A and B are shown apart, each in its own frame.
Chain A
């Protein structure tokens, strides 16, 4: 990571601030320098013309300008536009617009750049891999291939490593950054026979031990994918049954139905299940024992461990729902202003270039999944689902295909079946029968009852 990038950006801002057409009252520049390396194995063959080693370098930035005439501009810049901005200013002005809800530039009081050191977000080892010491990525891919080959025909593995440097400049007339972070990300994902997939991602370099955990899970469950069961005795017709959602399936339900309905824009613009008034009056929409929150994961190198939003707002822990009652939507600066509420951590891909941020359901009791399985006479474990992104999050209704569900009969795995599951997620989540489980230490999962066919 070169300081040359900071020099380029500071030079750009010095020239911009001096330019006769840059009649800005205030501005914010959030700039990212990124270097990455990807490589992989496709269907048992390492590298090849689709999975060759790829190195990418880029400098991008988003510029928010409040002009003297009270118009605003939102501009995404690339390197060329940064270097030759004088050709661009006319376009920025042309696309400026009046927005009565346009927020002022945010200057954080609760956080300064020294606090960034508390957040372990950057791993030098990842930088070394991108810089040419990539043997471990090959070793990791080979490790997965060797371990999974006995149970599968086609193994696809992709690995990546990225390092980033983010600068946030806050105007007016700024040419040195208020915030300057280094952060990194590395991950590996595999897919077996186009049927079963898993991944590991963190802000540090993964280890073979990290990979072993996801391999062990595949070795435990994937062989059952090829052992079909007949569900006709258990499901002669559509019926309400117990199902256990694995952590990744739980996450997709929570993202689709809860996160989508908490974002400030749909709430304020009446396109969410929840109305803004209901947050103000703290309406009860969930069970008493359910709270929904975001908090930085102070475990080192976790993806959720982010200090600031891309607008420079401190990511303080926040409850969106507490004891079943709505507290606040997820608010960026514009919708915080429009909602007349404080901004919150804003969980979008712009926040430290990752789309894996998670909200957490906090509840009184988590049961061990093995205890549930040992008592389950009839039910299914849901490993993957098709079509979640097509569902209507506002209604809460779901009607989803399950290509791989393990049927449980008499507390034993009976084999793999295909299912359709349907119901209303909000009604089910609030039902007293719905339980929160700990899935083998990996993450939270859910036990619930819904219509299966």
Chain B
């Protein structure tokens, strides 16, 4: 699937690839231009070209409400002088770009800003050159399917949710399909070409009953159209929608949980939120300073933050919604073991942040589009317990009472406090300086020894990140890493995903509150 070389001898292959493109003239000019301006003027360029197409289908209560299609194409050029001052220019007029004029403008910008006392970074000059031509080999690529058939599948999924309770439920289902291709060319000869296609299927379900209203949602994604055409994956979306649809009606009359300290069991989507928002962003090297992972002017490598059963890993997974095989500077991205056996190991960093953080470069940078600067960021983050309680059931086959039974059978219902099961991630927010997190769920169940859990309205799950990690005492099931989201760091929206074992058990802790 990937054609990768870590030497500069791959230039010929890059030129061969360029010749196959309809925009080969400007690509060649930009590639050769980047090499030349470095040789002659010691100006280092990172050229990024993006070509993106998207279609969004919206079904409301069984009827097609909207189809919007979008096209986006452009180029962004990040330039560095020999002293490490930099500037960035982007334009969506690609392929109509006057490359030499853009280079002159970049040089002027660098010259103007050099008059001030600015931060300079020359680390880009030490990044190893690579050739990466990556073609995804997908089972359900977009081009194999008819739009009308996709619409019918989305419509059928929507109707299935509506039919749970036609009088009390209103359901909006959206299918977003994005074909997103990047070419990255650097002054050291690096040439990377890769696609990050993605499909997201989501339903927003509103229940009205007895003058009360409740809203919940279901969502699942993939790189290709698996979430629509793969029987298992699509079946999971339907199961998720059905479960939330049924519970939404009950939520209208559910009581509120009393604010307090509890033992909590969170599903893998909430665990993804915990791993991504509360821990992962602090592990991004441009955000280290002032975060919970920065002490005494350095990254806390080697510090124990969880039990030895806990690993936290980030990295691209093929056909995942947030799949991105190479960083936005063009080099391949690996799996980064942020926490290994409970100990902080690595940071999510790029070439600009690695040295200051005192860690190795992981090429962890991402961008929303050609017009954005690259910043270190997660792709798919997993919080994994190495010794979970095993189950032969699939995630959506485990009902709340099924989870309750597993907890009872394994002595995990707390005796000194109530044990709550929190389902469905509705987003969260984190204060990086203090490590405070707040997440909201879709619903809460209070566990009991009769295995007859009682439903409560959602309430916030708030606490301190490091306390929550240390309080993880058990887990249920294998790792499920398809909880998707849209990460908005620095105003750039990029797809994210991740997860954990089906469920994580977090013990009662003074630093963790529900409600």
Contact = CB atoms under 8 A, between A and B. Distances in A.
A45 B116 CA distance: 11
B238 interface: no
Nearest to A47: B118
Contact of B213 (A45, A81, A193, A395): A395
Nearest to B460: A399
Contacts of B66: 74, 99
Contacts of A75: 68-70
B93 A54 contact: no
Contact of B259 (A58, A77, A420): A420
A76 B69 contact: yes
A194 B119 contact: no
B440 A195 contact: no
Given A56-B371, A269-B60, A387-B439, A420 B515 contact: yes
A394 B55 contact: no
A154 interface: yes
B427 A389 contact: yes
B431 A392 contact: no
Interface residues of A, number: 71
A50 B259 contact: no
A262 to B, nearest CB: 15
A95 B120 CA distance: 48
Nearest to B257: A399
Contacts of B241: none
A453 interface: yes
Interface stretch (A86-94, A114-122, A299-307): A86-94
A17 interface: no
Contacts of B109: 53, 55
B91 interface: yes
Interface string B504-515: 000000000101
Contacts of A96: 67
B307 to A, nearest CB: 26
B171 to A, nearest CB: 9
Contacts of B105: 55
B31 interface: no
Nearest to B109: A53
Given A74-B69, A154-B290, A387-B438, A97 B64 contact: yes
B459 A390 contact: no
B352 A386 contact: no
B87 interface: yes
Interface string B478-515: 00000000000000000000000000000000000101
Contact of A390 (B74, B112, B290, B427): B427
Contact of A80 (B67, B95, B170, B458): B95
B69 to A, nearest CB: 5
Interface in B108-156: 108-109, 112-113, 116-121, 124, 147
B317 interface: no
Interface string A39-71: 100110111111011111111100000000000
A298 interface: no
Contacts of B439: 387, 390
Contacts of B208: 270
B121 A48 contact: yes
B417 to A, nearest CB: 16
Given A390-B439, A394-B214, A399-B460, A80 B71 contact: yes
Given A58-B74, A399-B459, A53 B113 contact: yes
A83 B73 CA distance: 12
B433 A92 contact: no
B408 interface: no
Contact of A195 (B113, B371, B428, B431): B431
B434 A269 contact: no
A223 interface: no
Nearest to B290: A194
A258 to B, nearest CB: 15
A401 interface: yes
A389 B74 CA distance: 32
A312 B450 CA distance: 61
Interface string A326-348: 00000000000000000000000
B375 interface: yes
Contacts of A77: 71
Ranked nearest first, the 4 interchain pairs of A and B with the lowest CB-CB distance are A390-B440, A48-B119, A387-B438, A45-B119
30 contacts: A48-B118, A52-B373, A53-B109, A54-B89, A54-B90, A58-B91, A58-B92, A75-B70, A78-B92, A79-B73, A81-B71, A95-B67, A138-B116, A154-B289, A194-B290, A238-B259, A270-B61, A270-B206, A271-B170, A273-B213, A387-B429, A387-B462, A389-B429, A392-B426, A397-B457, A400-B438, A401-B438, A420-B259, A420-B462, A422-B459
Interface of B: 55, 60-61, 64-74, 78, 80, 85-96, 105, 108-109, 112-113, 116-121, 124, 147, 170, 172, 204, 206, 208, 212-215, 256, 259, 286, 289-291, 352, 371, 373, 375, 426-434, 436-440, 457-460, 462, 513, 515
Interface of A: 39, 42-43, 45-50, 52-60, 73-81, 83, 88, 91-92, 94-99, 132, 134, 138, 153-154, 193-195, 238, 266, 269-271, 273, 386-395, 397, 399-401, 403, 418, 420, 422, 451, 453
Given A96-B67, A393-B215, 11 more contacts: A50-B373, A54-B90, A74-B68, A79-B74, A95-B67, A134-B112, A154-B290, A270-B170, A403-B431, A420-B460, A422-B459
